[in-house]
Chain A
Amino acid sequence: MALKPVTTSDVEAATIELSIDGHTVTAKDGVSLYDVISDTGKIVAAMCYHYTFDPFGSCGMCLVMVEGKKAPVRSCTAKAAAGMVVRTEGEDLFQARKKAVEKHLSVHPLDCPVCDADGHCELQDMAFQHQVTNLANAKQKLIPEDTRSLVLDFNMNRCIVCGECINICKDVQMIDALQFLKKDGFTQVVAKGDTALSCEFCGDCLAVCPVGAITNKYSKYLYKPWQLKKTTTTCNYCGDGCQMYIEMKDNEVVRVTSPLSWKNKWGDRADTAVGHGGLCVRGRFGFQFIDSQMRLQQPLVRQNGKLVETPWLDTIDSLVTRLADIKAKHGPQAIAGLITARCSNEELYIFQKLMRAAIGTNQLDSSSRYGHLNFVRAMQHALGIGRMMNDSVDITKAKVILLVGSNMTETNPVASLRVKESLRVYRSQLIVVDSAQTNSAKLASHPLLVKPGTEGLFVQGLVKSVLEQDLIDAEATGKHPEAFAALKQAVAGFSLASIAKQTGVAVDQINEAAAVFAEAPRAVIICGEGIVRRPGGYHHVLTLVDLAWVTGKLGRPGCGINTVTEEPNEQGAVDMGAASEFLPGQARFEDEAARAKFAKAWGVELPAKGSEANLMDIVARCRSGEIKALYVLGENPLATFPASLGVRAALERLELLICQDPFLTETAQLAHFVLPACTFAEKDGTLTNQEGKVQRIRKSMEPIGESLPDWHVMVAIAGGLGFSMEYESSQDIQTEIMKLVPGYYNLGQPRKVEPTPESYLANGYKVEVGTRYRRSQEPSGSENGQRPFGLIMGQLLYHSGKLSTQASGLVNISPNSGRLHMSVEDMERMGLADGARVRVTSECGALELGVEGDRSVLPKSCFFPEHFNDPAVKDLMPVEIDSITGVPYFKLARVTIEKV
């Protein structure tokens, strides 16, 4: 760590001057000499260097002459000092570097033709650059290739022992899955303990390997780098919005690579606060769904109970006729639509325009209703901001991070690297509140493991503790004395001891966490599905606002309340108005000015106020028969909702069910029309990530079969209904959005947001705070009673929604075991072995399934991944609907577990 610049943002490092090739250069004290040289724009070859981690100094290529030293020095491990006179060029240095290349080559096999790195190999480039043509005493290592891992092959004959893979795994990912091992007389990279590699499979080691020592099993031997067509696009798996390159060979996706690679190794360490350019396992190895055999190729129309392939023209024609029929017979209120937040902003915009303007109904919703809207609505309500407050730099440079109910390293692995970097480089403290022993809890300074479903309650405990310990910020609370008094009164209704009892965390720990959080100058809150997808999510976000307010963190630079999203464009779905309560630009649907603006722009009368229906209303109205036609775009309610909700009956009752999806989903199998849609790789558009960055997705291949981009189909339907939308490309839609929501794109940069809590605190706060705190104190019925276990359904690292189950690469890594994850303690207590069968009973039913031990699960809880429906654990979940935001909560249940 000694070579890094002084990176705490509080202390600025001293500036020094030194001379490089006759030019005087200023640099920060303590920086590696290599960094100083590369900052001047000079490229000195280095094979083991990467700016994201500390210099390792093994390749011996970055040699420079320093005045006063007889031999060349390795510039990466040398510290820049004041008054140094450095020479980076010259025949002697060239010869010295050539010798280093020869040294590497003498034990490197010349199997370039069969090597996947051929043409994208630093050693090859160096050998060419230094004109290495003859090797005296070359020898071969003849090490067998390690093919034990599921994803990566290690050919240690080619390894040049640069250590980049080990360093990035240890320093950036903080996984530490690789190590050097001296075996058969050679130092080799092996998985920890020389076993089969089993890690998070982020593939960063693969990206930084300068030679072909680590290769990708999924694309092995399928390509040569020069044959691939490379498209920069945005990942479609989670809300992190990582940039990635899809590499194609003849309309076939061969591999996905990241901006992180040995090729761009020059950068400032401080740049990594924005991101290190890497990907996670889903992005890098989960691309197979794009050109999967399971993709729909042709529109399907139900004829005599069977789905029959039909040409597009006939399909759209009969679809529009039936839709127009229903509209004429039952009015626009008989039609509703659901869209997935994996669609682009342009498509979400067109979707809501189709529903509101062409059809004239406000019964529409997107998948951000599953939780993200809780956050957006609460933040809108309290602070006037409809998204998270901080960007990745703020999170990286935070002093304290409060991570509530978010298994971030699994759900949003790349965003979690910012938390890891803040821990490692900026020495922050991490408070993790979660109902599982997550990876972040293992790294945390304050891991606070609560009982399932009590994360929100714990936050209330923190507020109470802050008030009790008098850690309040007098300036912030002094502005709104009445609101503060109301809050004081509200928290007086319960004691910390009762919170401690209900959450299972000691009072001391709550107090300590509150003190650590309140006293930090830059404190960031990140909440996840444990808050926004559990009963009372909306209120719990408001409680987080309370916590930030009383500790004076609102509006202070580097502080804020943030969330992570599961789908790539949940934020965009809300911003584009694909929610019944919002028009584009997060204008409220009731807002007269906004209504007038959009009515004028679209040239129609908007649906009446009060006619809106969100996701759960739509399901209810389908069930009751009010809604006759449903347009489902990429959503799969049948496989998502518990059976108790009666989704199947509701869908079967529909006169017209239109499903538009790349795959034939469970819902699509019931549909009257199935329209093949493109995946993100076949269309242009933009996605808004959770930070608010609007990033482009680019067309990297021609659509599979006859599938079409979603917006294309929607424009056709609107045209059929007599509402003409004239767009040539997604660019045209963007132009319209730019007019109606000025500044939305903002060149892909997140806009700084300022919280404005004044009106919230001055007006309605007093009334609602009392009920809010009282509400959560009511003990839920079956808690601690006859159902001792908390059953949590959540995400796995290797999957995202149901989409990833179509990616064979990810299924290969993490297949559906069909087993319930239980804590090892519980299994021992109950006498269960791995694979033993148990009967799980909840208020909604019972199910028999196998169990497996999982060290991350806490006693008295169990876990089942939400991506799989076999067995249908989701049907055990009771559904609760948020009274304010309409968010359905069905990820937590109380259950009993009996051995069978």
Chain B
Amino acid sequence: MRIGLLTKKLLHAALFDEIWDAMKVTFKHMFHRPITFQYPREQRTIPDAHRGALGLLRYDDGVERCVGCDLCEVACPSHCIKVVSAEDKNLPLERYASEFYIDITKCVFCGYCVEACPVNALAMTKMYEYSTHDKRTLLFDKKRLNEIGDRYLEDAKKYLIAHNQEKDDQRSREYRYFFPEPVLKSKN
């Protein structure tokens, strides 16, 4: 019994049995497709419902959708949104956000703001690469958010449809809120 065990051990040692075991796994990988992909060179396909960076959207004619209603601010659980709204002096009665900030370092990507938005001005995009050397640039202001919105408009629209915020039909695409006209003083 003892001698048999010893001979078996010796044989294993002489034939490098463990090495062959390990090599078996290695060689097996030569015959199927790699699981990892070369991230910066290769991009992953992302599903439509993906929650990436937030962007501010415009209508197709270039008019801002946001009416500065502050609802995203109140819906945000991590208090990372700040909206300052004002009346557009050139277009009286039109409410708009004069300033809009999202502190993306605080954002938990819950998507509540998108759900709260009554005019679907906010949407999440597939953009997630915004790492930086300067943390201050991660406080997205209105300009940055508009840029993201403009650049990833198609993603954003898909996101809205995927999250059932907007229907994929002509009627809902055409819907938008119109402000009432002012009665001007000259009519007096």
Contacts and interface: CB of A to CB of B under 8 A. Distances in A.
Given A144-B182, A145-B183, A196-B185, A113 B69 contact: yes
Interface stretch (B4-12, B53-61, B86-94, B126-134): B86-94
Interface in B59-81: 67-71, 73-74
B188 interface: yes
A224 B74 contact: yes
Nearest to B181: A144
A137 B94 CA distance: 27
Interface string B138-170: 000000000000000000000000000000000
A153 B182 CA distance: 9
A252 to B, nearest CB: 11
Contacts of A601: none
Given A145-B93, A220-B87, A221-B87, A114 B69 contact: yes
A114 B91 CA distance: 15
A155 B119 CA distance: 20
Interface string B170-188: 0000000101111111011
A113 B67 contact: yes
Nearest to A113: B69
Contacts of B50: none
A195 B183 contact: no
Contacts of A224: 69-70, 74
A473 interface: no
Interface string A153-191: 101010000000000000000000000000000000000
Given A147-B92, A224-B74, A118 B183 contact: no
Interface residues of B, number: 25
A144 B93 CA distance: 10
A783 interface: no
Contact of A221 (B86, B183, B187): B86
A776 to B, nearest CB: 49
A690 to B, nearest CB: 39
Interface in A188-245: 195-196, 220-222, 224, 226-227
A702 B152 CA distance: 43
Given A113-B119, A145-B93, A147-B93, A222 B85 contact: yes
A868 B181 CA distance: 37
Contacts of B71: 113
B180 A144 contact: yes
Interface residues of A, number: 23
A767 interface: no
A155 B93 CA distance: 10
Interface class of chain B by DSSP: loop
A111 B177 contact: yes
B58 to A, nearest CB: 17
A148 B118 contact: no
Contacts of B70: 224, 227
Contacts of A872: none
A142 interface: yes
Nearest to B66: A113
B172 to A, nearest CB: 15
Given A113-B69, A113-B118, A114-B177, A144 B183 contact: yes
A274 interface: no
A112 interface: yes
Contacts of A221: 68, 85-87, 95
Most B C-beta atoms less than 10 A away, residue of A112, A143, A221: A221
A883 B95 CA distance: 61
Contact of A112 (B93, B118, B180, B188): B118
A146 interface: yes
A196 B177 contact: no
A114 B67 contact: yes
A220 B182 CA distance: 14
Contact of B181 (A111, A113, A145, A153): A145
Given A113-B119, A114-B95, A196-B188, A222 B86 contact: yes
Most A C-beta atoms less than 10 A away, residue of B70, B180, B185, B187: B180
Contacts of A222: 85-86
A146 B92 CA distance: 11
A222 B87 CA distance: 8
Contacts of A220: 87
A212 to B, nearest CB: 12
Nearest to B69: A113
Nearest to B118: A113
Interface in A132-146: 142-146
17 contacts: A111-B177, A113-B118, A114-B177, A114-B179, A145-B182, A147-B93, A147-B182, A147-B184, A148-B187, A148-B188, A195-B188, A196-B185, A221-B68, A221-B87, A222-B86, A224-B69, A226-B74
